[in-house]
Amino acid sequence: MAAVAVVEAPVLWRRLLAFLPRGRPALTALFGRLSDRLTRGRERRARRSSWLLLAPLLSPTVPHLTAPPCCLCPEGSHRFQWIRNLVPEFGIASSHVKVLSSPTEFYELMKGQIKAAKKRVVLASLYLGTGPLEQELVDCIETALERSLQACDPSSLSVSILLDFTRGSRGQKNSRTMLLPILRRFPEQVRVSLFHTPNLRGLLRLLIPERFNETIGLQHIKVYLFDDNVILSGANLSESYFTNRQDRYVFLQDSPEIADFFTELVDAVGDVSLQLQQDNSVKVVDGMVHPYQGDKVAYCEAANKRVMKVIDSARTRQEFLHSQNFHCSHAEAPLSKEPKAVGDGQPEPDTWIYPLIQMKPFGIHIDETVTETLLMEAEQGASVYLTTGYFNLTQAYMDLILGTRAKYQILLASPEVNGFFGAKGVAGAIPAAYVHIEQQFFSEVCFLGQQERIRLQEYSRSGWTFHAKGLWLHLAGSSLPCLTLIGSPNFGYRSVHRDLEAQVAIVTKNKSLQQQFHQEQEQLYLRSGTVSALTFEQPNRYVQLWVKMVTPLIKNFF
Cα torsion at 236, 242, 245, 250 (round to 10°)? 70
Which member of 220, 322, 436, 467 is catalytic? 220
Write down the pLDDT at residue 80. 95
Mean pLDDT of the chain: 86
Other beta carbons within 10 Å of 179: 22
Write down the pLDDT at residue 360. 97
Spatial distance between the Cα atoms of 388 and 490, rounded to a whole number of angstroms: 6
pLDDT classification of 153: cutoffs 50, 70, 90: low
Q: Of the ranges 74-83, 175-184, 233-242, 537-546, which one carries the lowest mean pLDDT score?
A: 74-83
Write down the pLDDT at residue 346. 63
Mean pLDDT over residues 359-384, rounded? 96
Mean pLDDT over residues 438-456, rounded? 96
pLDDT classification of 154: cutoffs 50, 70, 90: low
Residue 227 bears catalytic tag: yes
Q: Of the ranges 9-23, 335-349, 386-400, which one carries the lowest mean pLDDT score?
A: 9-23
DSSP one-letter code for 479: S
Write down the pLDDT at residue 180. 98
Which member of 98, 111, 227, 548 is catalytic? 227
Write down the pLDDT at residue 44. 45
Question: For the segment 103-130, what is each residue's pLDDT rounded down to a tens digit?
Answer: 999 999 999 999 999 999 999 999 999 9
Q: Is the pLDDT of residue 420 over 60?
A: yes
Q: Is the pLDDT of residue 71 over 80?
A: no
More confident residue, 373 or 15: 373
What angle (nearest 5°) sits at the alpha carbon of residue 392, between those of residues 386 and 395?
90
Residue 467 bears catalytic tag: no
Write down the pLDDT at residue 363. 97
Other beta carbons within 10 Å of 173: 9
Tell me the H-state helices in 292-377: 296-322, 328-332, 366-377
Question: For the segment 341-365, what is each residue's pLDDT rounded down to a tens digit?
Answer: 444 556 789 999 999 999 999 999 9
pLDDT classification of 465: cutoffs 50, 70, 90: very high
Give strand pairing partners of 268.
Answer: none
Cα torsion at 85, 88, 89, 94 (round to 10°)? -150
Mean pLDDT over residues 28-46, rounded? 43
More confident residue, 405 or 428: 405
Q: Would you say 350 and 94 are in contact if contact means Cβ atoms under 8 Å apart?
A: yes
Write down the pLDDT at residue 26. 42
Write down the pLDDT at residue 32. 44
Q: Which class for 335: exposed (0-12), middle (13-18), buried (19 or more C-beta within 10 A)?
A: exposed
Write down the pLDDT at residue 55. 52
Q: Is the pLDDT of residue 338 over 90?
A: no
More confident residue, 173 or 330: 173
Write down the pLDDT at residue 345. 56
Q: In the chain, what is the straight-line distance between the N-terminal and C-terminal CA atoms, in Å?
A: 35
Mean pLDDT over residues 327-351, rounded? 56
Write down the pLDDT at residue 408. 98
Write down the pLDDT at residue 554. 85
Q: Would you say 357 and 369 are in contact if contact means Cβ atoms under 8 Å apart?
A: no
Ramachandran quadrant class, 406 (left: phi over 0; alpha: psi -120 to 50; beta: rest): beta
Write down the pLDDT at residue 152. 64
More confident residue, 556 or 187: 187
Q: Would you say 159 and 186 are in contact if contact means Cβ atoms under 8 Å apart?
A: yes
More confident residue, 36 or 225: 225
Spatial distance between the Cα atoms of 509 and 483, rounded to a whole number of angstroms: 9
Question: For the segment 252-263, what is each residue's pLDDT rounded down to a tens digit?
Answer: 999 999 999 999
Write down the pLDDT at residue 438. 95
Q: Is the pLDDT of residue 6 over 90?
A: no
Q: How far, in Å, are 107, 138, 139, 156 from residue 111 at the CA level?
A: 6, 9, 9, 19
Write down the pLDDT at residue 155. 63
Which member of 78, 96, 196, 222 is catalytic? 222
Write down the pLDDT at residue 333. 46
Mean pLDDT over residues 227-256, rounded? 98
Q: Of the ranges 11-20, 157-166, 230-239, 379-388, which one carries the lowest mean pLDDT score?
A: 11-20
Q: Would you say 184 and 278 are in contact if contact means Cβ atoms under 8 Å apart?
A: yes
Q: Is the pLDDT of residue 396 over 50?
A: yes
Question: For the segment 474-491, what is each residue's pLDDT rounded down to a tens digit?
Answer: 999 999 999 999 999 999
Residue 344 bears catalytic tag: no
67 three-state secondary structure: coil
pLDDT classification of 138: cutoffs 50, 70, 90: very high
Q: Is the pLDDT of residue 45 over 60?
A: no
pLDDT classification of 325: cutoffs 50, 70, 90: low
Write down the pLDDT at residue 40. 41
Predicted TM-score (pTM) of this structure: 0.86
